[in-house]
Amino acid sequence: MENQIALQFVNISKSFGHKVANKNVSLDLRKGEILAILGENGSGKTSLMNTALGIYYPDEGQIFVNGEEANIHSPKDAYDYHIGMIHQHFKLVDVFTAKENVVLGIDYKGKANAVKAKDGPEIDRLKKEFKELSPEEQNARKAELKAAIKEYKKKIKDAKTYSLKKAKRQILEICQKFGFEVDPDKKVYEMSVSEKQTLEIVKALYKGVDILILDEPTAVLTPQETKKLFAVLRSMSSQGKSIIIITHKLNEVMEISDRVSVLRKGEYAGTVVTKETNEKELTELMVGRKIELNINRKEVVNPHDRLFVNGLTYTNRDNIKALDDVSFVARGGEILGIAGIAGNGQKELLEGIAGLIQLDDGNVVFHNPKKNRPATFFHKNVKQIRELAAEGAFYDADTNEKLDLRHVSDKKIKEMVNNEKIMFYEDEIIDLKNKKPIEIRNLGIKLSFVPEDRLGMGLVGNMDIIDNMMLRSFRKGHSIFVNRKKPQHLAEEIVDELEVVTPNLKTPVRNLSGGNIQKLLVGREISSSPKVLMVAYPVRGLDIKSSYTIYDLLNQQKKRGTAVIFVGEDLDVLLALSDRILVLSGGKVSGIVDARNTTKEEIGLLMTKSMEKQEVKHNVDVEDEE
């Protein structure tokens, strides 16, 4: 089996209009091998795989399966060549059981025709030989021919027959062979993310797949689930299955793959044997030059409590508690990481703090350390200073007496503020619960939010870059005309510093790649010098160099005293970047740990703390109901 080629791409080129996705790409997958495909965002990894799956047809080049040229025009053709793919978003019907999902979409007539195509010629040959025999020889071999024909007809009948009982038995046989744990009778909506992924793999194997492609298979798995997946993939490869993994996690590439093929800007950059390389070399091969990939986490200096979150509870439109009594403190000068399997309350938590959803219970208190400090126009305007003075919030810096500004002119107040004469008696304590974003801003609180949904919530796709920068500042104008100079200057700075690839500043944001859209959004939110910065998956879709640029920006915010709340999906990054990590499981806080003194395994256990874990073991000989 060693060095036998299972799948081969030869000079594959694919373009979409003027954009070249793949250019003369040649690489191969060997039988019984795990091959990792690496490349930056937009390097053509998925486009290349889609040509093997029949989703795209290459403009140029050839694909060979087991040494023979393959014409793959559709996913059905790919399955006929025993090629399957597990996508990031699972293709399962939630209300169906595992076994029902497995048999869904199977062409039983096609399976019967495949049996005829494979075994029919042999039966015809046996019949022809039988006719040419003498009567004595025919009598001697009559029983043999009858048995062969009977077995052939049984195969056709079995291929045509739809039977959940038979499907269940075959599913359990696959599980036993490769080490899967799947309950054929379990509904998909009752399954964890890991169980759904396992079911997708079993479904592919049930359909006869020998070449399996997995797209970012560990993106939503805990460390424990990742180890279990890798054990199964090794078992599959040892039994002759050929596997391709598309991923960006270099540590996992080093752990699971036999070889690594790298694409760069749509072209083939090279293939290396995993045990003969390292993460640094792979990075240089992807980027094309040497780059430093270090997250320089600084020690926390003078942390101060900035945001108190107490007992947040929220029920979503499906009447499910997305947040259940969530409490924590975010500190200025610190990065608080939020870990958890996707869909465990991360989105609702940030939106609740930002005032985008109506909370059922709990409160969010912003603590602004102002005691014995001067009022400034950084957070307050003249009107707000007057209102606070009426509440007895200030004293005179010269006389130490309580300030009464009722009869003081705006000009005089501005002068006093600029000369630091208006001093706070106590720290500002402001309850943000159920306040809308504009109300929070009007209170002088600089809270920035980079949402998970870039174009749905963060930016307006049909507006250009300058106008998207202006979304944060247009209300500050004093006339019907808006000032576009500052937003234009900000746009130029962000495009330059974060290396945003765009034809010009007038380009509609929707025309940019996902990674460049994310850079614009993060850059805009950081530019407002926030006191609290919340970011959800800020490097999703970014290439390696840009990702580390974002990490550096978050560290800079931490250094200037911002309270940073960072929702991430890569546990290695969370551990390297965060000072503390809060873990959400089922909408509850399952633990808050020191990032310097914990492990991925501990966080993984906390991520599944509130979920019931059941070992699924079945005997394939057990009789079941239809």
Q: How far apart are CA 578 and CA 550, in angstroms?
A: 13
Chain-centroid distance, C-alpha 40: 15
Average of per-residue pLDDT across 111-132:
76
Q: Residue 6 in 3-state DSSP? A: strand
* pLDDT tens-digit series, residues 30-57: 999 999 998 877 788 888 999 999 999 9
* pLDDT tens-digit series, residues 198-225: 899 999 998 889 999 998 888 777 788 8
Average of per-residue pLDDT across 14-36:
91
Residues 53-82, buried b or exposed e (16+ Cβ, 10 A)? bbebebeebebebbeeebebeeeeebbbbb
Q: How far apart are CA 489 and CA 42, in angstroms?
A: 28
Residue 548 reports pLDDT greater than 50: yes
Q: How far apart are CA 623 and CA 606, in angstroms?
A: 38
DSSP string, 90-157: ----TTSBHHHHHHTT--HHHHHHHHHHHHHHHHHHHHHHHHTS-HHHHHHHHHHHHHHHHHHHHHHH
Mean pLDDT rounded to a whole number for the chain: 85
* pLDDT tens-digit series, residues 468-516: 888 876 555 554 556 678 888 889 988 888 878 788 898 898 888 667 8
Candidates 454, 485, 448; CA nearest to 470 is 485
Cα separation values, 553 from 246, 331, 525, 577, 604, Å: 28, 17, 11, 11, 27
Residue 288 falls in which region: left (phi positive, over 0), alpha (psi -120 to 50) or beta: left
Whole-structure pTM over 0.85, yes or no?
Answer: no
Q: How far apart are CA 321 and CA 69, in angstroms?
A: 53
Q: How far apart are CA 225 and CA 180, in angstroms?
A: 12
CB 570 within 8 A of CB 249: yes
Q: How far apart are CA 45 and CA 40, in angstroms?
A: 9
